[in-house]
Amino acid sequence: MVPTAAFLVGLTFAAHSSAPPAAGPLALLTWLGLALGGRWGSVVAALALGGLLARGHDGAGPLDRLDTERPVVAVGAVSTHPTRFGDRAAVGFRLERIRQGRRVARLRTEIRLDLPAGVDPPPLGTVLRATGYLGRTPGFDNRHRSPPGRWALRVKSAVFLARVRPAGVFGKGLARLRVRVEKAWKEVELERPAAAALGRTLVLGDPRAAPLEWQRALKRTGLAHLTAVSGFNVALVALFAASLGAFLPRGLRLFAMGAATLGYLGLVGPAPSLLRATAMALVALGALWTRRSSAALQVLSLSVAALAALDPDVLRDLGFRLSVAATLGLVAAGPWLAESLELRLPRSLAVALAASLAAQAFAAPECARAFGVVSPAAPLLNLAFGAATAVALGAGLTVSALHLAGAEAISVPAQIALDLVAQLYAGLPRLPPSQLVAVAVPPHLLSGLVAGAVLLAIGRGPRAWRALALGAVSLLAAGASSPAKTAEVVVADVGQGDAILLRTGRSAILVDGGGLPGRDLATQVLLPMLGARGLARLDAAVLSHFDFDHCSGLVDLAGFVPMGELWLPAGARTSPCSRELLSVVRGRVRFLVEGDRVEMGGIQIEVLHPLRGHQESSRNRQSLVLLATLAGRRLLLTGDLDAPAERALVDRHGTGLRCDLLKVAHHGSRGSTTRDLLTAARPRLALVSAGVRNAYGHPSLEVLSRLRAAGALALRTDRSGGIEISWRAGRPLEISLPGSPRRTIRRGG
């Protein structure tokens, strides 16, 4: 394990650093390490070899230097089965070369290829020439930075797609097999939609098959690994094949298990975590075939090192990292923890609980770093749901096999079993948010969790229990740590949307939550923001109006964090997102109108808009306008108010709008933030929340000019990332831009 760790460190550093070390010194260091021999010599050699291999890997770096507003011509091979979005589909696309104008780059990195509507996805291994536009969603640059989305090449028409070389027989066969299995699940969906959703997720590894509320619930309870295809699925597939071939001789039974494992890899596609699990399974079956022992730690180390050497980008894949961490916990700490638990529990329960505890403990630091949340209840929930998922996967494989054999009529009992487990999954979203289910933790304060995992790996008996206690105490302390006694306003970078945190001491109010299709703002932005401040709950969540880019993030967050109250504008028209929010929030719901006043822990809120009993003509015009006072300073929050509503607001309140900080309305749209409003408010700071290079041109040059003329300093999330402003009563403002300089998609190279 130690040389493997050194190899991965060298690989990661050289592949992802801006100035990797030269090849000559690395080659010399590799030779010296081999010549030195021994443990330290192997570590030095592995470290240098990792750096040497990474130098020949460009990754997606050349793509950053291309102009996203000019077309490119790319040649590559289809590397995954398709994911469907209505009448469109997308596939993984392993690039070989890409050209834009006279610039040609040869590289081997995987992107997503978005196919035109109506085009049948080509099989695995098909080499295509595609002409289209590159793009990806930018990352969120807050104190906790979320990486940009995956590069995608969008092809607008079938005329811009040419087949250079068809897929081989194997690729065509896998495509036909997958189509037949997908057809079987479409037939099941007509009678049992919940069973079909779970079956497609487990059998086909389709990430979009499970309902969105299931995905949120699995993530907050630490059970997302159950529906992510990895070692758990591979083990169950092998056991399923072994049970079917129980009458066969030992050698044939092992062969059937290996064939089933490879067939499952072909059916799902070469996901990094599945490749790692398949490699380990084949090595273990080979050891059984030859009647030789295999050391799980060495097998894990070699499989991880081999996959990383072939493609260093695999280390960026979150699913791969979580899979490796959980497997490391199982093989390194699981047996020792089971020995300790057997002194107090029946053996079968002790083994199952030890496996769950070890896997969760080792994966927890990575979960907290990636999502800003961990689940103390996950090990116990994993016992029940792990067993149920094993039943569901077995039932799903049975349904698929019977439909392929034309015997779908006798698959009804398996469908019923699958449906029963699906109802169990459907109950997860109804778990109320609490610190037992999910705790928002500071991503950078994980020393207790790491120490607990290390002690689990090296300890026996009472040491293991002390490790668990240490991890639990550090987790609860992180979730309940006392924040500083200051007033703070945080304008989070959520792209094209709003999410603003108001905080004094332990009291916190979140105004809007942002919202971008396909992005989980709870785990990527909001939970890390709360966890870094030791906030385990919100006194109130505010939805200024019902647009998706203000509402969706609150829906994501509602399952993780208790919300004392939910505030909405009275009389506003609802939207699908707002109706979903009302269905998931368990706190008190208040509909606010002009004249309402609320005080929570040092935060005073005065409602200035909308008028009681008045129905506005648009959702933007119905936005809540709040005047918040924290530690003697005033913040005016204007939602997406437009110019006519602003003029009416000024007429009613005049100099009562005076403030220190202004949240610029409608992301800086030129139809808002009028001169009349600025004259009445006279803000010192103007806070603009807008997405990088958004399609609306926000903030407009006219608004920025009006802000300068009014003497207000404009701070923009599209330029600086998240904005943090704190102060004590009677003291100056302290401004922090932790996401600056922000990462942007370059234009023109």
- Report pLDDT for 352: 82
Reply yes or no on whether the pLDDT at 497 is more than 90. Answer: yes
pLDDT in the model for residue 77 = 95
Q: Pick the closest to residue 210 from 426, 474, 510 (CA basis).
A: 426
CATH number at 61-167: 2.40.50
Residue spans of the domains in the chain: they are 2-55, 61-167, 173-333+376-432, 334-374+441-481, 487-736
Give the lowest-confidence range in 93-107, 190-204, 472-486, 532-546: 472-486
Question: Do 59 and 317 contact (CB within 8 A), yes or no?
Answer: no
Residue 192, φ and ψ in degrees, nearest 5:
-135, 80
301 pLDDT exceeds 90? no
- Measure the CA–CA gap between 627 and 184, rounded to whole angstroms: 57
Q: Tell which wins on pLDDT, 61 or 168.
A: 168
Query: Tell me: the pLDDT tens digits for 191-231?
Result: 999 999 999 999 988 877 888 889 888 888 888 888 888 88
Give the least confident one: 4-13, 585-594, 620-629: 4-13
Q: Is the preceding peptide bond at 413 cis, omega within 30 degrees of 0?
A: no
Q: What is the pLDDT of residue 78?
A: 94
Using DSSP's 3-state secondary structure scheme, residue 561 falls into coil
Q: Which two tokens stand for residue 514?
A: 């942002």
- Tracing tokens 């894949």 back to the chain, one arrives at 317
Residue 647 in tokens: 């003029």
For residue 493, what is the DSSP state?
Answer: -
What pLDDT is recorded for position 21? 58
Q: Look at strands 661-663 and 633-637 and give their pairing.
A: parallel
Confidence of residue 127 (pLDDT cuts 50, 70, 90): very high
**How many of the other CB atoms lie within 10 Å of CB of 385?**
22
Instruction: State the pLDDT at residue 449.
Output: 52
Statement: residue 749 has pLDDT above 50? no
Q: How confident is the model at residue 52 (pLDDT cuts 50, 70, 90)?
A: low
Q: Which pLDDT band, with edges at 50, 70 and 90, does 482 fall under?
A: very low
In our burial notation (b when 16+ CB lie closer than 10 A, e otherwise), range 298-326 reads ebbbebbbebbbebbbbbbbbbbbbbbbb
More confident position, 551 or 231: 551
Q: What is the pLDDT of residues 368-413, one digit of tens each?
A: 777 777 888 888 888 888 889 989 988 998 999 899 888 888 999 9
- From the number of C-beta atoms within 10 Å of its C-beta (0-12, 13-18, 19+), residue 243 rates as exposed
- Using CA atoms, how far residue 99 sits from 64, 91, 149, 602, in Å, is 13, 20, 22, 58
Answer with the residue of higher pLDDT: 639 or 35: 639
pLDDT level of residue 481 (50, 70, 90 thresholds): very low
Q: Which residues contact 699 (CB under 8 A, 6 or more apart)?
A: 664, 667, 668, 669, 688, 690, 714, 716, 718
DSSP codes of every residue in 427-461: HGGGSPP-TTT-EE--TT--HHHHHHHHHHHH--T
Task: Give residue-wise pLDDT tens across range 590-635.
Answer: 999 999 999 998 899 999 999 887 777 678 888 999 999 999 999 9
pLDDT (0 to 100) of residue 728: 92
User: How is the chain split among helix, strand and coil, in percent rounded to 5?
Assistant: 50, 15, 35
Q: Which fold has domain 487-736?
A: Metallo-beta-lactamase; Chain A (3.60.15)
The residues, any chain, with a CB within 8 Å of residue 545's CB and separated by 6 or more, are 569, 572, 619, 620, 622, 623, 624, 639, 640
Q: What is the pLDDT of residues 664-687, one digit of tens each?
A: 999 999 999 999 999 999 999 999
pLDDT band at 16, cuts 50/70/90?
low
Whether pLDDT at 748 is above 70: no
Residue from 261, 306, 267 nearest 288 by CA: 261
Partners of residue 566 on adjacent β-strands? 541, 589
Tell whether the model's pLDDT for residue 447 goes beyond 50.
no
Q: What integer pLDDT is reported at residue 458 of this predicted model?
A: 46
Question: Locate tokens 């997958």: which residue?
Answer: 178
Instruction: Look at 334 and 704; give whichever has higher pLDDT.
Output: 704
* Short-list 709, 611, 706, 627, CA closest to 662: 627
- What was the pLDDT predicted at 341? 82
Cα dihedral across residues 728, 514, 689, 743: positive or negative = positive
Of 13-17, 605-609, 693-697, the least confident: 13-17
Contact 570, 589 (CB under 8 A): no
Instruction: Let me know how long the chain is.
Output: 749
Does position 93 have pLDDT exceeding 70, yes or no? yes
Q: Please, where are the H alpha helices in 333-405?
A: 334-341, 347-371, 378-404
For residues 509 and 377, the model is more confident at 509
Estimate the crossing angle of helix 272-290 against helix 231-244, to 10 degrees.
Answer: 40
Helix 193-204 and helix 378-404, axial crossing angle in degrees, nearest 10: 90
Q: Which two tokens stand for residue 689?
A: 């929340």
- Residue 325, classed as helix, strand or coil, is helix
Give the separation between CA 430 and CA 509, rounded to whole angstroms. Answer: 24
Higher pLDDT, 30 or 486: 486
Cα 621 to Cα 546: distance, rounded to the nearest angstrom = 11
Tokens representing 249? 């001789």
Return d(Cα 592, Cα 509) in angstroms, integer: 15
Q: What is the mean pLDDT of the chain?
A: 84
In this predicted structure, what is the pLDDT of residue 95?
Answer: 92
The band of 717, judged by pLDDT with boundaries at 50, 70 and 90, is very high
Q: Does residue 179 register a pLDDT over 80?
A: yes
**For 39-66, what is the mean pLDDT?**
68
Higher pLDDT, 546 or 34: 546
